[in-house]
Homo-oligomer: A and B are copies of this chain.
Amino acid sequence: MASIPGHGSGLVPTMGALHQGHLALIQRAKEENERVTVSIFVNPTQFAPHEDFTRYPRPFEQDVEAAGSAGADLIFAPSVEEMYPRKTTVIRVLEVSDRWEGETRPTHFEGVATVVGKLLHLTRPDSVYFGQKDFQQCAVIRRMIEDLHWPVRLVVCPTIREPDGLAMSSRNRYLSAHERQTAPLIYRVLQDVRRDLLAGVPPSQAAHMGRKELEDNGLRVDYLTLVDEETLVPVEKISKKVAILVAARIGNVRLLDNLIVDGSPELSGS
């Protein structure tokens, strides 16, 4: 599905609390579409009971202002009752959802897939925009779109980072000042692992060293793994597009990040 700049419509699904990462998605959508809808909906079904649904930040007026400045033509901010008059239909993406975040958060991706499905039907965009920061989420949505033959183009945009490398996230605001100083280590470790891999270090060893570096600095690592970027199955050697995924906790804040290792020959020595 080719997109013709200046025509068509784009959707940027968000849970609000917009940061530069979201604004980059909106700007990209505006470059590629005539009309851009930004949805703001804190989706209860993707939170587990113990998670931060009620305290998730909801700075609605600021979000509307920021989205408009970035190029949004329409804000779609339904209530929970409008989105879920019932919760009797779910979309499940098997396999891609099962590992990594799926292990820690077993119902998370079912909630994500279902709400994105609803939003796609309600707004019917030509293209939908997600950030690479939530790598597994992108893989789940891609698989859902392909498997259900959804007539929409998925655009995954690069992760936007703070100057020190920390991936932007609405949850970064939960970090204490001290934790915030530690957080950029995650991205540095990802870069170290990629460098090691491209230098020929075996994947399991590179991952092990990365995990140790995080743990030595006080982070609790849920996973640091090398996976096929489409199936999210762990890889034992760098033969095609591989992603390094990490989930780690600093204090009570759980942070995700990732980096793609391009294992193609022309880059393997870079």
**Residues of chain A having any CB pair with chain B under 8 Å:** 85-96, 113-114, 117-118, 121-122, 124, 143-144, 146-151
Q: How far is the CA of A35 from the CA of B92 in the complex (A)?
A: 32
B residues within 8 A CB of A147?
Answer: 85-89, 118
Q: How far is the CA of A156 from the CA of B181 in the complex (A)?
A: 61
B151, A124: Cβ atoms under 8 Å?
Answer: yes
Q: How far is the CA of A152 from the CA of B87 in the complex (A)?
A: 19
Chain B residue at smallest Cβ distance from A78: B149
A122 CB contact (under 8 Å) in B93, B114, B121, B149: B149
Q: How far is the CB of A218 from chain B (nearest CB, A)?
A: 38
B residues within 8 A CB of A124?
Answer: 151
Most chain B CB neighbours (cut-off 10 Å) among A91, A146, A151: A91
A121, B96: Cβ atoms under 8 Å?
Answer: no
Q: How far is the CB of A54 from chain B (nearest CB, A)?
A: 24
Q: How far is the CA of A98 from the CA of B114 in the complex (A)?
A: 19
B residues within 8 A CB of A144?
Answer: 89
Q: How far is the CB of A110 from chain B (nearest CB, A)?
A: 9
B residues within 8 A CB of A143?
Answer: 86, 88-89
A151, B121: Cβ atoms under 8 Å?
Answer: yes
Chain B residue at smallest Cβ distance from A122: B149
B88, A118: Cβ atoms under 8 Å?
Answer: no
Chain B residue at smallest Cβ distance from A144: B89
A89 CB contact (under 8 Å) in B91, B118, B121: B91
Q: How far is the CA of A144 from the CA of B121 in the complex (A)?
A: 12
Q: How far is the CA of A124 from the CA of B92 in the complex (A)?
A: 22
Q: How far is the CA of A95 from the CA of B149 in the complex (A)?
A: 26
Most chain B CB neighbours (cut-off 10 Å) among A85, A90, A149: A149
> Can you report 23 A-B residue pairs in the complex whose CB atoms are below 8 A from each other?
A85-B147, A86-B143, A86-B146, A87-B147, A88-B94, A88-B95, A88-B96, A88-B147, A89-B91, A89-B93, A89-B144, A89-B147, A90-B92, A91-B91, A91-B148, A92-B92, A114-B148, A118-B147, A121-B148, A121-B149, A121-B151, A122-B151, A124-B151
B residues within 8 A CB of A95?
Answer: 88
